[in-house]
Structure 1
Amino acid sequence: MANRNNKQRSRVVNDTHCTSFKVCKLVKLPRITPPADLYAALNNTSPQNNKLYNSYVNFINYLPHIKKIDTKYYSVLFRMLLYLEEHELQLTVTRHNLKNQKLKHVSGKFRITVPTLDEDDPFITIGDELTIHSKDLKHSYDFKIINIIQKEVYVAISDEFPISQLLENKVDISFHIVNWPLRCYHYVLDNMCHYNLENLINPKINTDHYTLSKVDLDWVHKSIANNEEQKTAVKNILNSSSYPAPYIIFGPPGTGKTTTLVEAICQIRKEYKSKNILVCTSSNAAADEITRRLLHLLCHKDVFRMYSSRKCCSDVDEQIYPISNFINDMVIYLPKEIFIWKKIVISTFVTCMRLVNLKLQNDHFSYIFIDEASQNIELESLIPLVITKNRTEATSHVQVVIAGDPYQLGPVITCKKIEHLLGRSLLERLMECEPYQKVNNKYNSRYITKLIHNYRSKEAIIYTSNKEFYEGDLLCFKKENTHSIISNWPTFSEKTFPVLFIEVKGEEIRTPRASVYNEREITAVRVIVKKLMNSKIGSREIKGEDIGILTPFKQQKIMIERYVQSNNITVGTIETFQGQEREIIILSTVRSKIFEHNNKRHIGFLSNPKRFNVAMTRAKDLLIIIGNPHILREEKYWYTVWQYCEKNNATIFVE
């Protein structure tokens, strides 16, 4: 929930070029407020009804003990989870509130210095709101944030505000989250009862006879002809083999999930000219990637990329711009008369909510593709299903395709006591349902295909993840370089293995904002980067674009970034690197302490197996892990990779 798109930070929203021209009506969703006694229970205030108040308190305390969401209590339980998450988000935002501040007027905007604001803070973003309260004027004014530069927040001023009076007096400033996604999720819950979604949230095996077509297709991607799993998935999607249940593409890292999705869309377009397709993802980056690939393969007039009104034209790929809803640098939401002619529509889930007012026919979309399905909460995945149905019709004619990897990181939930419930994706829950379970150690390809050919990484790089998460099924098709990248380094001349564990016994230091950094590991990163920039991959010199530096902690990321800016190297947290890849990955683990909770020893943030899996699967040619093995091997996954490196003479101790 906290991983909202921050791409627009440090950019002023230009009202002329980034305003939404609303050709179709905007969706109006009511603000959702929890029941009074639940609000009292969350804020520890006086209840209206003591009995109801105590029931809410007991329920909230019991939530950590609920293992999964029973479909019988689906709506009620999810509603409560959303209330708790919004409450936690608001608490997080209020830590930035300010008292007795003097406003600064800069070029028609108020500039507010927020000392507590971190770089890339996920909770305060452009488009959020704040309230300025003047005690002297005894009045409050609401503003929208239009730009954020480091610790400076800028808000737009209209003519109606008494600028001079606000500048003369000290004011209090309070921040508020714009809970549009949460309101979308409440909308899904409000409307689920009107639609038959039982086959989606609780699918069953279809007893009707079905046989996979043996006729080969004219493959758009010729490589698919030699990949049985991809071929099976595309054919079954084309024939709606799992209908009315969703079809799942289980795509471990580097196995061609996006290629399979794009191939399926192209084959549908070739076979069924009249059928419409909706593609939804949780991020603009993923939606843009699919769009770019489709534009290389299909007629451009068939592809329509729908952006949010908060998207700025300057951030749009020039290749995508002509087929998007940007017209004269303004976002336009098309009226129904024009929209229905768009054959392939690509959008994020939340932007897709704009289609509600179009009141499309129940069978307008024949296929709905949900990509990055492990990265969003279940209710987010249901948005395209609810908004594209007509209440007057009882059945759905759409084949849903869900693609993702349940062993990679899911959505970020702010309220930790409900993370195990609200932070679980639809994909993860569906894979526990009967149609997607293994029988005799095999998946039923009518409902699910697991892609197993890894085209990204050398075999040694994916060894640990393959063993721990993918049952050893992954087959490596990455061509091995005969020349090791690090063989010409004097210290590492004997190290030819593509995974290197550099043992550094540094000390993690915690900042006032609770993030941590490790100076000795930062030094190690600097040394390694310098060596890499003087090395080659085969006969090609290594460039900054070939290198990615990962770390679990934001402060470590910030401090490393200061040293490598001139080299064009990407530095990021593990979360931000999900879905990305680089020839070389340097992973700084930072951790130097072992923690204990409920008599169980752990290494905190790094104990999350999904975080480990993402970190281990970004590299193509070389993975360098920097850390203290005596700390890391407390967790079995880290112990496995360290042991694997030691066995292959790929560990080195640095003083």
Structure 2
Amino acid sequence: MANKQRSRVVTKTHCTSFKVCKLIKLPRISPPADLYAALNNTSPKNNKLYNGYVNFIDYLLRMKKIDTKFYLILFRMLLYLEEHELQSRYNLKNQKLRCVSNKFEIIVPTLDKYNPFITIGDEVTIQSKDLQHSYNFKIINITWKKVYVAISDEFPISQLLENEVDISFHSVNWPLRCYHYVLDNMCHYNLENLINPKINTHHYILSKVDFDWVHKSVANNEEQKTAVKNILNNSSYPAPYIIFGPPGTGKTTTVVEAICQIRKEYRSKNILVCTASNAAADEIAKRLLHLLPHKDIFRMYSASKLSSDIDKQIYPRSNFINDMILYLPKEIFIWKKIVISTFVTCMRLVNLKLQTDHFSYIFIDEASQNIELESLIPFIVTNNKTEATSHAQVIIAGDPYQLGPMITCKKIEHLLGKSLLERLMECEPYQKVNNKYNSRYITKLIHNYRSKEAIIYTSNKEFYESELLCFKKKNTHSIISNWRIFSEKTFPVLFIEVEGEETRTPCASVYNEREINVVRAVVKELMLSKIGSRKIKGEDIGILTPFKQQKIMIEKYVESNNITVGTIETFQGQEREIIILSTVRSKIFVHNNKRHIGFLSNPKRCNVAVTRAKDFLIVIGNPLILREEKYWYTLWQYCKENNATIFVKNIEVFNI
């Protein structure tokens, strides 16, 4: 049954009325031999090239930003360094193999199911140190941190079991191959207006004609209305239009409103929506299905997606047929008016060879969460090489002050980890002039519909120039009843000061036992309390922490209450009535004579963490440590000024 549910490309036997779009095959791009030697400190073939690569890598580490004149070579090198770091993270030395049911079992301590590099079907090279032989195998199963490879009946198993071995993984790594494909094909297209936009000198006047707005909230929001009108009128073309959406300001609502208005005004125009995650793509699809004819909407999933995971509303409008994946042929695909996909799945459109003007609008959502080359995939796959110009108005929605893409090679994170959105906002059309953005190119949404004013205070002050306006009314009654500490308070933030001790695991993650105990105690009390007049349920609570080990350990204690526990990265884009944030950190580090708090020194991590709560934010941490960084200090000081801090010396005396 599981095999039937797993998505596969449909063959003619599954659906005789459709042709099947062949899968695009992307080759693995390997670094030049001397670059590989420079990365691994091994013997070079050409000393001059080797030394050149060493110097170039050193230059990359000191480079402040990407120079668009050297765009292709710089990004190519960055991808090589990132892949090398990923490879090094998982390769193993001096291991003893174990045989389980005619399979080799390999324990990989660094394996992470939330950000997988190793997948089923990848190759593994096992080299016997004593026998000086190497053997290649295929991964057939992965269970948590255990990887299993198939062994043929004729294989001399005992030879590898008796000796220590070195193990190296050769990942298919489809996303990295897509990024190389983008670089390989950029020379065929004129993307100058996309990667290095300039101000258009042509006269433009914002239309004063009002629309029949789909969302009542948009009708009362001048910033959202301005953005939608300018998008429909292609005000920034050929440059992208940016929807700068701080947390809770209705970014997705603005995107959905714009799509609906395009469909009403321009029935013949096609729209492509690309997002960094399936969750974001599904959210847009569900909202559109409530507002537009279902026949207009097509949600395209990847071949790895399980039919059992697809929302029932979306399933009939997706590329699933009889629980199998179908990639539509061009003759059918071109009739789909709104196509919604993740960036990487969008690569499937390459085979269709669409006309350059097929899509009139391309929306890039969650634009801060993916590397720049990922954001360029839609333009490479929807342009025709015979015409070197994109005809689409590009709309980029996101927030440059929220967390960006995950980069393994920390030395180049400042370059490869900068999203297209973040870099564009440094360009002239998107800069403030006389303290105002040019609405022809960018709109900053400023009405926060999610959180109480006190909850967004820190982010508003530190990141958004105190421009955010809180839509929610201030509390006049207690937020949490039945809980002694909070039953008479109206301030929606509580800072619980805990002098815990962080412990590092062999996998390099960190946990804090004392903070875990405080989290348990807080959850216990919350589950016996009310928010307003309503009893608090597990679904109302989210628990955030920066460290995976802390997440794992907290999860053990709260899973029966149906409470979501996640890292800050996984919670980006989500919200809950009540958020409990366990910061874990109890040490200060010094690097290049500068004091910092490691992982938590990233201001974007702080911004995301403190903006997920709607009604009540509880922060658990050590202020003596956290206040080393001004963002955390601002939060703690604000709580202190509002009598919203309590100090816990011993959990035993913390009778909550």
TM range (shorter): over 0.9
**Correspondence for 2:553:** 559
**Correspondence for 2:32:** 35
Letter in 2 for 1:302: D
Secondary structure of the equivalent of 1:143? strand
Q: Per-residue deviation at 1:223?
A: 1.5
**Correspondence for 1:18:** 7
User: Given the alignment, which residue of 147, 152, 175 partners 1:162?
Assistant: 152
Deviations 1:141-192 (A, max 9, x none): 432444x33333356x6xxx62364666646654232221111111111111
**Correspondence for 1:7:** none
Contact 2:6–2:304 (8 Å) recurs in 1: no
Q: Superposed, which structure 2 residues align to 1:429-444 within 5 Å?
A: 429-444=423-438
Q: Per-residue deviation at 1:120?
A: 3.1
**Correspondence for 1:413:** 407
**Correspondence for 1:44:** 41
1:151 aligns with 2:145: yes
Letter in 2 for 1:610: K
Give me the TM-score of the superposition, normalised by structure 1: 0.93
Q: Superposed, which structure 2 residues align to 1:540-555 within 5 Å?
A: 540-555=534-549
**Correspondence for 1:583:** 577
- Provide the C-alpha distance between the structure 1 equivalents of 2:205 and 2:121, rounded to a whole number of angstroms: 52
Letter in 1 for 2:201: T
Secondary structure of the equivalent of 2:298? strand
Contact 1:485–1:535 (8 Å) recurs in 2: no
Secondary structure of the equivalent of 2:480? coil
Q: Per-residue deviation at 1:610?
A: 0.2
**Correspondence for 1:8:** none
Secondary structure of the equivalent of 2:344? helix
Deviations 1:552-601 (A, max 9, x none): 11111111111001000011110110000000000001111111111111
**Correspondence for 2:137:** 142
Q: Per-residue deviation at 1:497?
A: 1.2
Contact 1:128–1:176 (8 Å) recurs in 2: no
Which consecutive residues of structure 1, in runs of 5 or more, have no partner in the other structure?
A: 1-11
Closer/same/farther in 2, CA of residues 115 and 77 from structure 1, 3 Å limit? closer
Q: Per-residue deviation at 1:480?
A: 3.9
Closer/same/farther in 2, CA of residues 284 and 138 from structure 1, 3 Å limit? same
- Provide the C-alpha distance between the structure 2 equivalents of 1:420 and 1:480, rounded to a whole number of angstroms: 39
1:103 aligns with 2:99: yes
- Provide the C-alpha distance between the structure 1 equivalents of 2:133 and 2:52, rounded to a whole number of angstroms: 39
Which consecutive residues of structure 2, in runs of 5 or more, have no partner in the other structure?
A: 12-19, 650-656
Letter in 1 for 2:62: H
Contact 1:453–1:475 (8 Å) recurs in 2: yes
Q: Superposed, which structure 2 residues align to 1:110-259 within 5 Å?
A: 110=103, 112-114=105-107, 116=109, 120=113, 122-127=115-120, 129-131=122-124, 133=126, 140-146=135-141, 148-154=142-148, 162-163=152-153, 165=155, 170=160, 174-259=168-253
Q: Per-residue deviation at 1:116?
A: 1.8
- Provide the C-alpha distance between the structure 1 equivalents of 2:639 and 2:451, rounded to a whole number of angstroms: 16
Q: Per-residue deviation at 1:17?
A: 3.9
**Correspondence for 1:6:** none
Deviations 1:33-80 (A, max 9, x none): 111111110111111111111111011112221101111111111111
Q: Per-residue deviation at 1:494?
A: 4.9
The count of corresponding residues between Structure 1 and Structure 2 is 635
Letter in 1 for 2:7: C
Secondary structure of the equivalent of 1:601? strand
Contact 1:248–1:449 (8 Å) recurs in 2: yes
- Provide the C-alpha distance between the structure 2 equivalents of 1:125 and 1:481, rounded to a whole number of angstroms: 49
**Correspondence for 1:304:** 298
1:384 aligns with 2:378: yes
1:55 aligns with 2:57: no
Letter in 1 for 2:491: F
Q: Per-residue deviation at 1:100?
A: 4.1
Closer/same/farther in 2, CA of residues 121 and 249 from structure 1, 3 Å limit? closer
Q: Per-residue deviation at 1:139?
A: 7.3
Closer/same/farther in 2, CA of residues 280 and 129 from structure 1, 3 Å limit? same
- Provide the C-alpha distance between the structure 1 equivalents of 2:429 and 2:605, rounded to a whole number of angstroms: 28
- Provide the C-alpha distance between the structure 2 equivalents of 1:595 and 1:162, rounded to a whole number of angstroms: 50
- Provide the C-alpha distance between the structure 1 equivalents of 2:412 and 2:64, rounded to a whole number of angstroms: 10
Q: Per-residue deviation at 1:98?
A: 7.5
Contact 1:103–1:166 (8 Å) recurs in 2: no
Q: Per-residue deviation at 1:19?
A: 1.9
- Provide the C-alpha distance between the structure 1 equivalents of 2:600 and 2:127, rounded to a whole number of angstroms: 45
Deviations 1:346-367 (A, max 9, x none): 1010110011111000100000
1:517 aligns with 2:511: yes
Q: Per-residue deviation at 1:377?
A: 0.5
Contact 1:92–1:123 (8 Å) recurs in 2: no
**Correspondence for 1:92:** 89
Contact 2:97–2:106 (8 Å) recurs in 1: no
Q: Per-residue deviation at 1:111?
A: 6.8
Q: Per-residue deviation at 1:618?
A: 0.3
Q: Per-residue deviation at 1:515?
A: 1.1
Q: Per-residue deviation at 1:20?
A: 2.0
Give me the TM-score of the superposition, normalised by structure 2: 0.93
- Provide the C-alpha distance between the structure 1 equivalents of 2:383 and 2:94, rounded to a whole number of angstroms: 45
**Correspondence for 2:311:** 317
Secondary structure of the equivalent of 2:454? helix
Closer/same/farther in 2, CA of residues 389 and 98 from structure 1, 3 Å limit? farther
Q: Per-residue deviation at 1:123?
A: 3.7
Secondary structure of the equivalent of 2:340? strand
Cα RMSD over matched residues?
Answer: 2.0
Q: Per-residue deviation at 1:302?
A: 0.7
Letter in 1 for 2:507: R
- Provide the C-alpha distance between the structure 2 equivalents of 1:167 and 1:324, rounded to a whole number of angstroms: 46
Secondary structure of the equivalent of 1:163? coil
Deviations 1:218-239 (A, max 9, x none): 1111211100000000111111
Contact 2:5–2:308 (8 Å) recurs in 1: no
User: Given the alignment, which residue of 57, 65, 68 partners 1:68?
Assistant: 65
Deviations 1:435-454 (A, max 9, x none): 11111111111100000000
User: Given the alignment, which residue of 602, 618, 641 partners 2:635?
Assistant: 641
Closer/same/farther in 2, CA of residues 166 and 307 from structure 1, 3 Å limit? farther
- Provide the C-alpha distance between the structure 1 equivalents of 2:34 and 2:119, rounded to a whole number of angstroms: 33
**Correspondence for 1:4:** none
- Provide the C-alpha distance between the structure 1 equivalents of 2:94 and 2:459, rounded to a whole number of angstroms: 46
Q: Per-residue deviation at 1:93?
A: 1.8
Contact 1:93–1:176 (8 Å) recurs in 2: no
- Provide the C-alpha distance between the structure 2 equivalents of 1:77 and 1:13, rounded to a whole number of angstroms: 43
Deviations 1:368-388 (A, max 9, x none): 000000000011100001110
- Provide the C-alpha distance between the structure 1 equivalents of 2:127 and 2:594, rounded to a whole number of angstroms: 51
**Correspondence for 1:604:** 598
Compare 295-304 and 111-120 and name the one that shifted more: 111-120
Secondary structure of the equivalent of 2:566? strand
Closer/same/farther in 2, CA of residues 188 and 550 from structure 1, 3 Å limit? same
**Correspondence for 1:499:** 493
Contact 2:496–2:621 (8 Å) recurs in 1: yes
Q: Per-residue deviation at 1:493?
A: 4.5
**Correspondence for 1:425:** 419
1:448 aligns with 2:437: no
Letter in 2 for 1:27: I
| Identity among equivalent pairs (%) | 77
